Structure 1
Amino acid sequence: MIRLIAFFLFLTCTFSYAQKEKITQLENFDNKPLRYGYYLGLHYKGYAIKASNASITPGVGFQLGVLADLHLNNYISVIAEPGVLSSTNKLTLANETIQMPTTHFHLPISFKFTTQRINNVSAYFSTGISYNYNFTAEKNIGDGGAKPNDFVLTKHNFMGEIALGTHFYFPYFKFSPSIRGIYGFNNEYKGLGTTAKNSLNSLKSRAILLTLTFQ
């Protein structure tokens, strides 16, 4: 993943220098008070785990959604990005491997800080919090605790987010690739069966997202 981030930064620098000889596009785009768009991408998601006899394997998933970007001044905006985030992890409880798919309604709200634009490129940094509603929280509830490995995940979850990205301005749209880290605040796990209770105490989301945004 460190190599992916380094490669992303290398591309950003390369494109930035390449843009210096080009005519500026969408000169007044960022002056609009409210801008809309959509995004899609892939992510690598796992969990910080506290366990005595359990382990979890991170999984690759996807995200897609829409966004609203509220312009505060030339360098700061507030952005809301409701969407869907879906992935699958493998949870091992006492030597039994369980598929753990999750699909979330994902709502990040962030402050975005943008550098001064150089022709057709600007860089940005954003930080904020997100609310996640887990549609599949009871996927592994089984018999409500009658089986040793029965468990549930919490439906309502809160996370911190931080992102680094670049805006590229084209004649008809603005394209913004970014890398984002997600850090879950609350424990999302509740054991119901005897093995599930005794083997695993806590799961907190961790993820790295590669996102492509179009406005």
Structure 2
Amino acid sequence: MKKILTIALVAFGIQAAQAQLFSGESILNNENFDQQRWSWGYFLGLNSYDFNFDYKNYSSNYVTGQDFRVEKRVGFNVGLIGNLRLTNNLDLRLEPGVSFNTRGFQAIKADAGTYREVSATYVHIPLLVKFNANRLNNFRPFVEGGLSTSINLSSNQDNPDDNSAGQFRMTTNSYYYEIGFGIDLYLYYFKLSPSIRGVFALNDELIRDADPNSIYTGNVDKMMSRAIFINFVFQ
């Protein structure tokens, strides 16, 4: 699904560029849009979250040490945009939003009863720097990057029960760096900006079980989220 959406996004951008370059179009839509110091909008999009596990080095007699297989699914993003124009080619952007996602993982060398499904609702707040190319007719490519934080409303961080009682726990607060690219498309009534972005956690998000030999946490040095966001911004 991620590959299909990425290919569709790139193909959409190429088609728009070809239309602008070869159709002879000379009418500029929203010609003065980028001259505003402040602009606002909203976004809708899709996400795919993953877990990246780093494992401890144990001696060969540590038989409960496990690797995990992660099952990824497609989730949904929605949020608001606040954009500050710094220069002709540089913007500062705040994108507070909410992301919904479900993923799962299972110990590779264990039975099916070790499967854990993790449903999460994130309040996600990125602060991004957006580097814009010069506008060409009615489109403008860009790259963006920055830092973000999120609140996992489904973390179970303070739950006294752990995996022995069927409760998988994660930290409530996480921090990320983000990098991506997209295209601004200047339509007659508004600006549409499809983009694709990688999101990578900076902190360990795993809450350990009380049992040091837990199959879920005993052999894990770090567990960090990573995700792909495909968003469509309307301004």
Q: Indicate whether 1:85 and 2:99 are aligned.
A: yes
Match of 2:54 among 50, 54, 57: 50
Deviation readout 1:73-120 (Å, 9 max, x if unpaired) = 110010000000110111225531121101110000010000110111
CA distance in 1, matches of 2:18, 2:163: 62
Q: What SS does the aligned partner of 1:17 have?
A: helix
Deviation readout 1:125-173 (Å, 9 max, x if unpaired) = 00101001110010894x5248265442011100000110001101110
Q: How many angstroms does 1:4 deviate by? A: 4.6
CA distance in 1, matches of 2:158, 2:54: 19
Match of 1:66 among 65, 80, 83: 80
Equivalent residues of 1:182, 1:208 under 8 A apart? yes
**Superposition misfits of 4+ residues, deviation over 4 angstroms:** 1-4
Match of 2:179 among 158, 162, 175: 162
Q: Indicate whether 1:210 and 2:212 are aligned.
A: no
CA distance in 2, matches of 1:70, 1:146: 45
Q: Which 10-residue stretch deviates more, 4-13 or 14-23?
A: 4-13
Q: What SS does the aligned partner of 1:72 have?
A: strand
Q: Indicate whether 1:129 and 2:167 are aligned.
A: no
For structure 2, the residue ranges without an aligned partner over 5 or more in a row are 56-64
Match of 1:174 among 162, 166, 191: 191
CA distance in 2, matches of 1:193, 1:99: 20
Q: Rg: which structure is higher? A: 2
Q: How many angstroms does 1:191 deviate by? A: 1.8
Residue equivalent to 1:9: 10
CA distance in 1, matches of 2:142, 2:163: 51
For structure 1, the residue ranges without an aligned partner over 5 or more in a row are none
Q: Indicate whether 1:24 and 2:28 are aligned.
A: yes
Residue equivalent to 2:205: 188
Residue equivalent to 2:138: 120
The percentage of aligned residue pairs carrying the same residue is 28
Equivalent residues of 1:54, 1:91 under 8 A apart? no
Larger strand share, 1 or 2: 1
Q: What SS does the aligned partner of 2:11 have?
A: helix
Aligned residues: 214
Q: Indicate whether 1:37 and 2:50 are aligned.
A: no
Q: TM-score, normalised by structure 2?
A: 0.84
Equivalent residues of 1:149, 1:193 under 8 A apart? no
C-alpha RMSD of the superposition: 2.1
AA aligned to 1:8 is L
